[in-house]
Amino acid sequence: MPRPPSIRPLFSAATLAARVSELGESLAASHADKAPLILGTLTGAFMFTADLVRAISPHPPGLSVDFLRASSYGAGTVSSGEVVVGGGAGSLGTKVPITSRHIILVEDIVDSGRTLAALKRALESAGAASVTVVALLDKPSGRVAGGAEADLTGFTVENEFVVGYGLDWDEAWRGLPYVGVVES
Ligand code: IMP
Ligand code: MG
């Protein structure tokens, strides 16, 4: 019988919290007068988004929060490169309108950069005034031509599959309070 995979801890809850706090301070300063709309990317960025919103201090007047979904189609851990944003048919599926807003787009991890490129295009088409991307993790070894980059990154990771703090492996391990590497 195959042995179940185990998780090697990489970034502890305390390490994550300290970095999220720095990112929050930086965004509070850059967006103080911009009434930013924080857009978390479902599902992987839900936990990071929740902590980041609380870390954006002092709280910019007019700040609002919403979520959108990006799905990349492919088998297992390999993406096919086709990315669908939101509800399809041109709808991003957010409740809060995007037009003329200064968006802080929150991602869990940038790997090939294709998801981010599709999200940025969709937000620009929807009339965002600006888009600032903050990604908890960056995996530069995965980047492809045409892939987009985050403006702010929490941590850089090697070419390994990471889970926890919202990130999953086939829907498992999202709830871990730390980030770790899947080892089989
Ligand atoms: P990209 O389009 O290749 O940049 O992939 C981005 C998406 O793939 C992320 O938002 C994650 O949902 C997923 N992903 C990429 N690498 C990992 C990983 O190491 N662990 C968990 N999810 C990942
Ligand atoms: Mg994702």
Percent of the chain with pLDDT over 70: 91
Ligand 1 interacting residues, C-beta cut-off 6 A: 44, 72, 79, 107-116, 139, 142, 161-163, 167
Cβ atoms of 126 and 98 closer than 8 Å: yes
Average pLDDT, the chain: 92
At 77 the pLDDT is 55
Regions of the chain with pLDDT less than 50: none
- Token pair for 134: 């903050």
- Token pair for 168: 């999953």
Q: Which strands make up the sheet holding 152-156, listed edge to edge? A: 82-85, 64-73, 37-42, 102-110, 130-138, 152-156
Q: Which of 167, 170, 174 to mutate to test the pocket of ligand 1 (most atoms within 8 A of CB)?
A: 167
Tens of pLDDT, residue by residue over 80-112, are 567 778 865 567 889 999 999 999 999 999 999
- Token pair for 183: 């080892």
At 49 the pLDDT is 98
Beta strands at 6-11 and 179-183: parallel, antiparallel or unpaired:
antiparallel
At 3 the pLDDT is 67
- Token pair for 10: 């990489």
Ligand 1 nearest atom to the CA of residue 43, by list position? 12
At 119 the pLDDT is 95
CA-nearest residue, atom 22 of ligand 1: 167
Cβ atoms of 163 and 172 closer than 8 Å: yes
Cα four-point dihedral sign 97, 100, 106, 111:
positive
